[in-house]
Amino acid sequence: MSVLPILPILLPFGAATIMLLLGPDRLTAQRVLALGSGVGGLFAAAALLAVADDGLITAYLLGNWPAPYGIVMVVDRLAAMMLVLVAVLALGALLMAIGGSDAARLDGKGRHFHVLFQLQLAGLAGAFLTGDLFNLFVFFEILLLASYALLMHGPAPAEEARVRAGLIYVVLNLVVSSLFLLALALTYASLGTLNLADVARLLAVLPAADAALARTAMALMAAVFLLKAAVLPMSLWLPQVYSRAPAAAAALFVILTKVGIVMLLRLAVTGWGGAIATAGLLQPWLPVLALGTIALGTVGAFAATRLAEVAAWLVLVSSGTLLFALGFLTPRGTAALLFYLPQSTLFCAALFLLAGHVAARRGALGDRVTRGPAASGRGWLLPAWGVAAVGLAGLPPLAGFLGKLMMLQAVGSGGWQGPWWTVLLLSSLGVLLVLSRATGPLFWQATEAPLDDLPAQAGVAGVAPQLGLWLLLAAGVAMTVWAAPMSDFAARTAAQLFERQAYQAAVLGDVPVQRERRP
Amino acid sequence: MALALASIVAMLVGGGVWLLLRPRSWSVVLGLTLLGYAVNLFILLSGRIGSRQPPLLLEGAGPIADPLPQALVLTAIVIGLGMTAFLVALALRGVASRGADADDADRIGEGPIDHHDAGDAE
């Protein structure tokens, strides 16, 4: 069996281990390793994508134990696509982190920045690859623990606010982890398995008398994923945390909300299918909450005073948009979701990096949206801002527009069409207003006062951080240039997700292992 | 047996949730620990507890206990320990930077609280 499917997990794990052995003082070696792991991860993910796009579902059995007993890694189109997205984001964020002079570089703020970053990548790759629900919990914890620690890196003045936001984030996620464990225990108690393909197989034939317990388990698990995606009643933690995180870490955090969405998609489509035990778990309240999330994100973006806060609220808008499409569980809606997800992630992450660039160039003003002295390097920041803003608002030249169009069409002409079109279009208008309102104070209306405390932070002006920002933007723009193949791919991915028998056969083999039923 | 364990889980969760809602980060840490205990017991219960099922594979010993929940609990305990350690470190950092262990105190009007933990942290 080829080791390719597990390479996206092993590479960052290996890199992190070697970095720990090298010690925190060998920064250059750490950077080389980090970039090497990042580029290697991108190649591995691309190779997996090439394999998966043939329609093949590859199951990698750890230790060669057969599927319902051992842990299994499953590569299908969705997993491969998310791995490529993670790899691109990671490279952009890494370039942002390593650039600049010694005083300002982000990876010098903490002794183990690169180790934590690699562990987070390993956790992300594992979460997308694993076909086992308990293993998913373990990878969730790996990426969360790394994200807690990454959050704490950053400039000293904002320390207290960051610790406060971090405490809320950690406590919330620990409570949710407990809920996740309860859901897993209930799943095991009712179905006797934690393998997703096996769960799908057993749910479909579950007697009605046992359905209540399984339904509770699945509802709890959906709630866990929805909190990760920051859906409405559970979304107020996100803007605080993401806007306090250092730019490079925040850019990577954008994918954390998408982990929740993708896992819910996989659970609902692959796991639940049309089982009676889980019928109506998402409808009709998920679309309502998603619309609320979009509205909240848009209103919050208007109220935000810093660019990073605007970006954080826009992450909520993106989450809401994706969750609305998810709520209906149709192949068409899923295809629209999968087309919209990568570019929305890339542009949100780019906005976080941009906020970092702006903050580094305006001294004490930081990324606050107020008039200030002219930032150095505004000549190249302005076009980047333009591309990011057009991409986020979903205006015609870029693929964000196509994505939103597919989203609008995905609902069809049912009862949801009215509210959906209203909320999504109004929100797009709102985002456009927020971003154009910020353009003036940030880039055009410069005051004459000199930047007295600039030198302390000017280090981000190196070439690498600019490269990171442009990498993310270029990836977003590339999705416009190759929009047709991308939307075809999204449609193929959605179609593959809905072929549930093929997934089960690939993971469990053609003849599933028979087990005696427990008392 | 199951009823006794279920009652313990219920009590632990009740205490844990109550502590979680307290305004001090130290109570929150304790609450999360209690919640963790409850969850671990709950996972153990999911494998169907029986009094005559040893967790060992012995010759002619009849039915054995389901080993999977035990493996799961072990993993959950290790992860929970790591998370709690991080949370304590973070809470201490908050104490160090604010000078008081009062997570929400300013919001509910208690004001900074002077007690010994703050001194120990620095």
The rounded percent of chain A whose pLDDT value lies above 70 is 90
pLDDT at A461: 55
Using 70 as the pLDDT threshold, list the residues of chain A that sit under it.
1, 100-110, 154-158, 373-378, 413, 446-461, 511-519
Q: State how far the alpha carbon of B64 is from the alpha carbons of A92, B49, B50, in Å.
A: 52, 10, 9
Residue B73 pLDDT > 70, yes or no?
Answer: yes
Calpha distance B111→B24 (Å, rounded): 12
- Report the alpha-carbon distance of residue A231 to residue B33 in Å, rounded: 27
In this structure, the number of other CB atoms found within 10 A of the CB of residue B112 comes to 12
Tell me which chain B residue has its CA closest to the CA of residue A193: B68
Chosen for mutation from A138, A152, A163, A210 (greatest number of chain B CBs closer than 10 Å) is A163
A–B interface: beta-carbon pairs under 8 A? 79
Q: How far is B31 from chain A (nearest CA, A)?
A: 10
B2 touches chain A (CB under 8 A): no
Report the predicted TM-score, pTM, of the whole model to 2 decimal places: 0.90
Contact A175 B32 (CB under 8 A): yes
Residue-averaged pLDDT of chain A: 85
> Predicted confidence band at B18 (pLDDT cuts at 50, 70, 90)?
very high
Residue located via tokens 């464990």: A181
pLDDT value of position B113: 44
pLDDT of residue A267: 92
Q: Shortest CA distance to A340 belongs to which of A325, A330, A357? A: A325
Closest residue in A to B44 (Cα) is A185
B49 touching A (Cβ < 8 Å): no
Candidate from A145, A167, A188 with C-beta closest to B83: A145
Per-residue pLDDT of A489-513, as tens digits, reads: 999 999 999 988 888 888 888 766 6
pLDDT of residue A459: 46
A→B interface, C-beta within 8 Å: 134, 138, 141, 145, 148-149, 152, 159-160, 163-164, 166-167, 170-171, 174-175, 177-178, 181-182, 184-186, 188-189, 518-519
Q: Is the peptide bond before A68 cis (omega within 30 degrees of 0)?
A: no
Q: A178–B86: do the CB atoms touch at under 8 Å?
A: no
Q: Do B47 and A160 touch (CB under 8 A)?
A: no
Write down the pLDDT at residue A13: 93
The predicted pLDDT at position B66 comes to 81
What's at B56, amino acid-wise?
L
pLDDT at position A481, please?
86
Q: What per-residue string of b and e applies to A38-68 under the rule 16 or more CB within 10 Å gives b?
A: bebbbebbeebbeebbeeebbbbbeeeeebb
**Sign of torsion over alpha carbons A444, A450, A456, A459:** positive
B10 in contact with chain A, both atoms CB, cutoff 8 A: no
Which residues of B, range 57-96, sit inside 8 Å of A by Cβ? 66, 68-69, 72, 75-76, 79, 82-83, 86-87, 90-91, 93-94
Contact B48 A175 (CB under 8 A): no
Q: List the single residue in A with minimal CA-CA distance to B104.
A: A164
Contacts of B45 in chain A (CB under 8 A): 185, 189
CB-CB under 8 Å, B25 with A167: yes
DSSP per-residue codes, A276-306: GGGTTSSTTHHHHHHHHHHHHHHHHHHH--B
Helix A463-481, helix A399-410: angle, nearest 10: 50
ipTM score of complex = 0.83
Neighbour-count burial of B87, counting CB atoms closer than 10 A to its CB (0-12 exposed, 13-18 middle, 19+ buried):
buried
